[in-house]
Amino acid sequence: MGVFGSSRQAAVVIAVVVVGLVAAGAATGLPGGDSQPTGEAVLDDVEQRYDDAETLTGTAEVTVENDSETEDATVDFAFAEPDKFRFVIENDDATSEVGSNGGVVWAVGDEKSVAREIPADGEYDDHEGMTEPIGENVSADVVETTDLDGEEAYVVELTPTDEAAEKYQDAEATLWVSTDDARVLQMTATDGDTETTVVVTDQQFDVSVHDSTFEPPEDRVSVTTSETYDSFEGLQEATDLDVPSYDGDFETATEISQADGQAVIQEYATDDGAVQVITATGAADRLGEVEEGTSVTVDGEDATAVEREDRSTVFWTDGEVTTGVVVEGSVDDAIAVAEEIR
């Protein structure tokens, strides 16, 4: 794995800079003299500059290096209020994209693609990761005013305060902020042995950005949605699948839908442990490739069994529908459950 770790980490770096999130919770900076503002004042201006923008597009060059490795990437970014974003991250090895249209968050890479519906309550952990690395306890000092590629810029040093979380105590960052309009022009950040440099080469505020910019690419990724049910009757009424019931204490069921099929996972509690009953379309090919599966018979029909440590799975396919059971126990235990629902 490279020093970027993942395309999302590169995207986080850019989001932190260009959206002005570095200003969140900044403590009062020391006065820099009559000719320059305090660090807090500069960051307030940065935050206001980006908060006032309905849209933002641009490009940044990112360099991440540690003692043994250096990686470079070009990141094109786009934001639109209230909750749409897209990053295209390109380096020598690959191109990847991450984004959200406000209802779906998605990522596309060379080896893996994923898209998931954002819960209606707005709670989505991956979004929190875009602000969480900054923390809310930093101090800001304007250390000088300098020329950066023909633009006058404040140089603002950010350091954690004593109240910052322990994992951020070694982090330091420097921002170059335009004295003209509070744009972030450049950033360097160090965290232990890793240094990240971001040079924002282009920024455009309040330009027209078409909604299609933020949609997941249909040819590369299918959207995953899910619904949960707290009763078998509610599940049975809502799903198009013909789901079997099991003589255990029904706990919950989750219905997952993708472009290539859907699945229902029912969870039951029994005296012998938890039991899952799975009904799925579009799953036969994937389940058929399970390694080390053994042929068994359920209700006189062929099925496949897989045993992993203290869990066993038995599944079979009728037409386009694959049904399976997962139990805490042996293959014989799984067959016994399967006999009851087949």
Rounded to an integer, the average pLDDT of 221-244 is 87
pLDDT of residue 308: 84
pLDDT of residue 25: 34
Q: Is the pLDDT of residue 32 over 80?
A: no
Residues with Cβ within 8 Å of 320's Cβ and at least 6 positions away in sequence, in order, are: 281, 282, 284
Rounded to an integer, the average pLDDT of 47-56 is 90
| CATH annotation of 225-341 | 3.40.1000
Superfamily of domain 7-214: Lipoprotein localisation LolA/LolB/LppX (2.50.20.10)
Residues above pLDDT 90, as percent of the chain: 46
CB neighbour burial string for 143-152, b if at least 16 within 10 angstroms, e if fewer:
eeeeeeeebe
CA dist 33 and 40 (Å) reads 14
Q: Are 312 and 325 a contacting pair, CB within 8 Å? A: no
Burial of 163 (0-12, 13-18, 19+ CB in 10 A): exposed
- Could you say which DSSP state residue 19 is in? T
| pLDDT interval class at 167 (50, 70, 90) | low
CA dist 304 and 314 (Å) reads 6
Rounded to an integer, the average pLDDT of 304-312 is 88
Q: How far is CA 225 from the centre of its chain?
A: 15
Lowest mean pLDDT among 11-20, 26-35, 67-76: 26-35
Give the residue, 193 or 13, on which the prediction is more confident: 193
Rounded to an integer, the average pLDDT of 174-189 is 93
pLDDT digits (tens, 9 = 90+) for 265-301: 999 999 989 999 999 987 544 554 555 688 999 988 9
Predicted TM-score of the model (pTM):
0.61
| pLDDT interval class at 331 (50, 70, 90) | very high
Nearest CA to 266 out of 254, 280, 258 is that of: 254
| pLDDT interval class at 240 (50, 70, 90) | confident
pLDDT of residue 127: 33
Q: Is the pLDDT of residue 258 over 60?
A: yes
pLDDT of residue 125: 40
What residue ranges do the domains of the chain occupy? 7-214, 225-341
